[in-house]
Structure 1
Amino acid sequence: MKRRTFLKSATLTTAAFGVFPVQMFAASRYSYDDLIGKGNPELFGKGINLRKEAYEAFVEMRQAAAKEKLDIKIVSSYRDFYRQKAIWERKYKQYTKNGSTPEQAIQKIIEYSTIPGTSRHHWATDIDIIDGGATYSGDVLVPEKFHGNGPFRPLRQWLDENVNKYGFYMVYTDKPDRKGFKYEPWHYSYAPVSVPMLRAYKKLDVKEIITQEKVAGATHFTDDFIAMYRNENILDINPELIP
């Protein structure tokens, strides 16, 4: 589904609800717990774990790629709040143990990893993918493997030409003036669902989300840091994914 198609659908939905704007519809559809990773979304597909609509689109895309001898393999999809918290705290302990200050550790982590409660993977709309049929070793989610002579270059090239047909968009692009998380050529989001979820998420108090759970390092989350993180890491993404 093209983005213009689901935006048109959203407009029609607004009309059907009369005076209710799309923002109110999105907010009522997704609970606070859904948005911060503490909900219990119905997940589809063994090893896929996406919301139904995103799952169906992914399967269609994977089948199309298979015709080109590409095996789209999901490395990561849905992650709940507690899984993200474990990832965050493991990295925080590792960096501070190795001599980084808390502030340095936080900055290092947010190059690629989100603060729990703020991850798009909480929504069951986003995927990290590689070519499962390629020959590779070591870490897989590194940009070099998707470029040059990297094993996942053919997959990335196919995705560049085809992924939007299925409603998926790269989240953290290599646009030179984009801030926040570094370029991730493996991370795609199913826009027809993630766009209204982000619209609802934008209404939440990010400071409340990331401080009330006593996340490691939270005492160093200043108001300026939180404002920066919201504007750059949460919102400075592919424009096609911004409501």
Structure 2
Amino acid sequence: MNRRNFISKSTGTAAVSLLPVSFWSSLWLQEFTIEELTGKANVSFYGKNYQLRKEVNKAFLKMQAKAKKEGIHIQIVSAYRSYERQTQIFNAKFNRYTKQGLSGKDAVNKIIEYSTIPGTSRHHWGTDIDIIDANAKQPKNVLMPKNYSEDGPYCDMKIWLNKHSEKFGFYIVYTDNPKRKGFYPEPWHFSYKKTSVAMLKAYQDIDFKKIITQDTNLRGREFLTESFLNTYKKEHILDINPALLP
């Protein structure tokens, strides 16, 4: 029996309220496995040239079709990303930055301006998308904040998304709120709220620190201390658009 069916068949509010917090946490993890939450599961995904969960892809196609009628072609450049792929990205950046002269610690801090530590990426969930306007004249580097600004090639798309994306369930994750910490603002990164909020709720109950520190293939892992990861969770995982918090 899944979590939703169990709740609907509970005997009453009073009985439900007596159940311990650990019980509800276990139900969240029954719905989403640790492997799913960290990009290590073999999950069925949908999409053309990208991978998303079924309900997320359905909502995206509706949003894409609506925007297309108004001259904007929303194109996904990154959706689901496996643990292995995120590790490749992280390690490549670590190698590049250290070769440029940064210390290992500084290289890690440079990486997490925009890139996540493997096992902590929202892209592991199949709920999040990085998008561009395929109708615009494409710059050399597409995922740059300036491309979504007033003079950028994706400005019209960004204005359209500001007005309409939430109607289709998609919310920007890393806002430009000056009080927000963690990742730099990403005007290209949107998340399907209905599913990602539930997955973030489940994610908070797993020991992601153990998964990270035991990965001998991860470059710079010696700098990912308990203190560092506690701050990383607070600022990079949880300091996001409040609308996407459980």
Shared fold (TM-score greater than 0.5)?
yes
Q: Residue 162 of structure 2 aligns to a residue in which SS?
A: helix
Listed as ranges, the matches of 1:182-193 within 5 Å are 182-193=184-195
Percent sequence identity over aligned pairs: 46
Query: Alignment partner for residue 41 of structure 1, among 40, 43, 49?
Result: 43
For the residues of structure 1 that align with 2:5 and 2:192, how far apart are their CA atoms? 19
Listed as ranges, the matches of 1:224-239 within 5 Å are 224-239=227-242
Taking CA–CA contacts closer than 8 Å with sequence separation of 6 or more, which of the two structures ends up with the larger relative contact order? 1
Residues 1:166 and 1:97: Cα distance change in structure 2 (over 3 Å): same
Paired residue total? 233
1:109 corresponds to: 111
Query: Alignment partner for residue 100 of structure 1, among 102, 107, 112?
Result: 102
Residues 1:169 and 1:13: Cα distance change in structure 2 (over 3 Å): farther
One-letter identity of the residue aligned with 2:214: Q
1:216 corresponds to: 219
User: What displacement does 1:201 show?
Assistant: 0.3
For the residues of structure 1 that align with 2:134 and 2:165, how far apart are their CA atoms? 17
Listed as ranges, the matches of 1:154-169 within 5 Å are 154-169=156-171
For the residues of structure 1 that align with 2:69 and 2:129, how far apart are their CA atoms? 21
User: What displacement does 1:216 show?
Assistant: 0.6
User: What displacement does 1:159 show?
Assistant: 0.2
Query: Alignment partner for residue 90 of structure 1, among 89, 92, 117?
Result: 92
Structure 2 gap ranges (5+): 11-15
For the residues of structure 2 that align with 1:168 and 1:127, how far apart are their CA atoms? 9
TM-score w.r.t. the length of structure 1 is 0.92
1:143 corresponds to: 145
For the residues of structure 2 that align with 1:174 and 1:90, how far apart are their CA atoms? 27
Query: 1:89-113 deviations in whole A, cap 9, x for unaligned?
Result: 0000000111100010000000000
For the residues of structure 2 that align with 1:187 and 1:23, how far apart are their CA atoms? 28
User: What displacement does 1:48 show?
Assistant: 3.0
8 A Cα contact 1:14 1:22, kept in partner: no
8 A Cα contact 2:74 2:132, kept in partner: yes
Greater C-alpha Rg: 2
Query: 1:97-144 deviations in whole A, cap 9, x for unaligned?
Result: 111000100000000000000000000000000000100221111111
One-letter identity of the residue aligned with 1:16: S
One-letter identity of the residue aligned with 2:8: A
User: What displacement does 1:206 show?
Assistant: 2.5
User: What is the RMSD computed on CA atoms of the aligned residues?
Assistant: 1.6
Residues 1:17 and 1:94: Cα distance change in structure 2 (over 3 Å): farther
TM-score w.r.t. the length of structure 2 is 0.91
Structure 1 gap ranges (5+): 1-11
